[in-house]
Amino acid sequence: MRYSKKRSLLAGTIILIMFLCTIQITVAGANDISTDISSSYKLIPEDGIVEVSKEITFHNDNSNTSYWRGYYSNYNYYLPKGAMDIQAYDSKDSMDYYMAPEGYYVFYFNNKVWYEESYTFYVSYKLEINKNTAVFSLNEYGDNIEVTLEVPSDFDTYLSRDDYKVEEKMYSSIYKFEKGQKWDTACVVNSVRASPRLTLKDTAHLSEKDVDVEVIYWEGEEEWAQDTMQTTIESLKLLENKWGFAYPANYNITITQANITETGGYGGYNEGKNGIWLLYTSNHGILIHELAHYWTRACNFDQLWMDEGYADLYTYMILAEIEPEEAESRRDRFLNKYENLKNECDYPLSDWSTPESLDDSTEERVDFGYKKAFSLTYTLYKTTGIDTLQDMNQQFISYENGIDNSEYIQIASSASSQDISFIESYIYA
């Protein structure tokens, strides 16, 4: 029987005492051991931490250890990246542990766990958060798991899964995942407290005009604001260069740090004169994507795939200048996701639309549209080069009416000497 690598890691180590007192290390089967885990996560914003505690009960039902032929001496478990102040102990004493090169932790039992015996121990650690924003994961591995998450009642909290119950207390909300629920993947927690917003101001000195930039952020998020401002000013200059025409809007730029309700479930949202609403967890790629929409809107596109595909293409180009490794990683993720989703939800880009709010029922279809649109524009870029794209851009911005699919194909064909017939298969097939 074969077992997955992760399941083997979690199984711990069994020591078998063989003839002539030799010692052999092996791994138990999936049905030979089990764990009951009770995990508690508590958000403590004033201390800037999430306090995590776990009670783990290890059961040895491996018959290979019967008749005193062996025992378990340790347990392997993954903790999230950034876990700090780690402590491990049982009811009587502290436990030794270390982090293995493969990334998991090895916890050494204070007792030998023989056949049909159990051992209960405790692990606690802290995760760092900001005062008014918290993003972390509920990481759980085991057989019978229950999880509670306590969040102050003045925080707006979003979880990446919905199979929980909520109990409202006077000063907090308790999210409960009952025993028996599957934990195949981590549950991401996004939690934010509405607080007075502050404003950071600067100016981007662009080719034809100075553009004032305001970053509106929650108190305690100064580092986020400074990083957003720096990335915005640098990206605006690069966007002008890559698109081949100057910043086209006749207004300044406001970027507001927002929660997931304000962005409708998206990472960001560009409302033109009303500015950009940027999810506080968003990375540079999403910020640049929203900035690129100032240019896509000047191109008279009337098809969603053009607007979003070009925004993602130019995001790739800008990231290639400022964060080359992230640009390659993002490109590969997008192209791989497109290939992976093709068999499940392929549809012509001419049929693509997006809802105002993103939820579990629409997320995959929307995601496929983004990835397919990027695949088209990226393939066009690699086939024809940036000079051809810039020639096309000049035709886009001078077009009197909205550019539909047939007009786009006509413009692309007239600007390029390469075979770009693949465009039609993306749009219509």
CB 277 within 8 A of CB 262: yes
Round to whole Å and give the CA distance between 381 and 395: 16
Question: Do strands 33-44 and 144-152 pair parallel, antiparallel, or not at all (unpaired)?
Answer: parallel
With CA atoms as reference, report the closest residue to 218 among 300, 137, 134.
Answer: 134
CB 310 within 8 A of CB 292: yes
CB 424 within 8 A of CB 305: no
pLDDT of residue 21: 23
Exposed/middle/buried for 246, CB within 10 Å: 0-12, 13-18, 19+?
Answer: middle
pLDDT of residue 281: 87
Round to whole Å and give the CA distance between 231 and 240: 14
pLDDT of residue 31: 54
**Which two structure tokens, joined as six digits, stand for 13?**
């180590």
pLDDT of residue 17: 34
pLDDT of residue 9: 39
Global confidence as pTM:
0.79
pLDDT of residue 19: 25
Cα–Cα distances (Å) from 56 to 37, 120, 296, 312, 358, in that order, read: 5, 6, 53, 45, 36
The DSSP annotation for 256-322 comes to: EEE-TTTTTTSSEEE-GGG-EEEETT--HHHHHHHHHHHHHGGGTB-SHHHHHHHHHHHHHHHHHHH
> Using alpha carbons only, what angle is made at residue 139 by residues 134 and 145, rounded to the nearest 5 degrees?
125
With CA atoms as reference, report the closest residue to 59 among 117, 123, 146.
Answer: 117
**120 beta partners:** 57
Residues of the chain with CATH 1.10.390.10: 197-428
Fold of 197-428: Neutral Protease; domain 2 (1.10.390)
With CA atoms as reference, report the closest residue to 210 among 252, 256, 241, 243.
Answer: 252
DSSP 8-class letter at 186: P
DSSP 8-class letter at 421: T
Residues of the chain with pLDDT under 70: 1-31
pLDDT of residue 331: 98
Backbone angles phi, psi at 324, to 5 degrees: -55, -40
CB 45 within 8 A of CB 152: yes
CATH number of 5-193: 2.60.40
Residues of the chain with CATH 2.60.40: 5-193
pLDDT tens-digit map of 153-187: 999 999 989 899 999 999 999 999 999 899 988 89
